[in-house]
Amino acid sequence: LPYLWKDGSFLGLRARNGFIVNITWKNYAPTDVRIMSTTGGKCRIKLYCSAVVCDGKEVDFTHIDNVTEFETALGKEYSFRF
């Protein structure tokens, strides 16, 4: 995000490989990130988090070089803990 955007949000951003992304941030840091998978498959996002959650349960993920990667299921929404 551009440095000039200290606080903000966006909803419904379409990302490659069938993902819909909603993000809210404050003081340049994400406070809420949600990703909906419309096709299933692997999701990769440049974001540091402590957990990826779907349906109230943590899912397996890897985190290398500030990229979080995890498998998704069709129609499921994923959120992140920071």
Q: 1 pLDDT exceeds 80?
A: no
Neighbours of 14 (CB within 10 A): 9
Q: What is the largest CA-CA distance in the chain?
A: 35
DSSP per-residue letters across 24-75: EEETTEEEEEEEEESS-EEEEEE---SEEEETTEEE--EEETTEEEEEE-TT
> What pLDDT, in 10s, does the model give residues 22-66?
999 999 999 999 999 999 999 999 998 999 999 999 999 999 998
pTM of the full predicted structure? Answer: 0.91
